[in-house]
Homo-oligomer: A and B are copies of this chain.
């Protein structure tokens, strides 16, 4: 792997947790994995294909990455956060309901169409849903080479080890039986 600063430094090192190579080629800055649609035949009807420093070694220290999001009709990219990045989404095709929620619990939402852009501030919960009849595809830019993603429902109800029923029941004001049902469905 290679990093930006290393473009002028001839020594092998490690940075940000990624090994850096003493030499590099154009392929270290290239990725072809977003060319094809991701499979959306899952319970949510959506899939995210990342293009960050895990896939593109040359991104190390560059502070930017991308992702492709495919949506079946009705597909949902469920509420999630990126702990280390803001996001700017360009809708390649289809139609999406998009939204983020502020720290004052205000939902900022609208419907966007092909070719339109919406932005999601760093660290805030956000989601996108395809309410159209055809698939939708989006490309997002993120200002971190390793933005991270935390899908809210999964992180709370399908963590390992599990978050206690009591914590979840009180947080969502449901009973522990309902918690267990959600857990069993999200673990599937």
Q: Give the oligomeric copy count.
A: 6
- Which chain B residues border A79 with CB–CB below 8 Å? 156, 163, 167, 171
* A150 touching B101, Cβ below 8 Å: yes
* A88 touching B117, Cβ below 8 Å: no
Tell me, rounded to whole Å, the shortest Cβ–Cβ distance linking A145 to chain B: 9
Chain A 153-175 interface mask (CB, 8 Å, partner B; 1/0): 11111111111101100111110
A43-67 residues with Cβ-Cβ distance < 8 A to B are: 43-44, 51, 56, 58-59, 62-66
Residue A140 is within 8 A (CB to CB) of chain B in the complex: yes
- What is the size category of the interface that chain A forms with chain B? 35 or more
* B127 touching A78, Cβ below 8 Å: no
- Which chain B residues border A41 with CB–CB below 8 Å? none
Given the contacts A139-B90, A172-B157, A173-B43, A81 and B123 also touching, CB distance less than 8 Å: yes
Contact of A104 among B7, B51, B105 (CB under 8 A): B7
* A66 touching B78, Cβ below 8 Å: no
- Which chain B residues border A43 with CB–CB below 8 Å? 170, 173
Given contacts A8-B148, A34-B115, A105-B160, 18 further A-B contacts (CB under 8 A): A4-B86, A7-B104, A7-B121, A7-B148, A26-B110, A56-B119, A58-B121, A64-B85, A65-B141, A79-B163, A81-B81, A81-B150, A105-B154, A107-B160, A123-B123, A125-B150, A153-B173, A174-B181
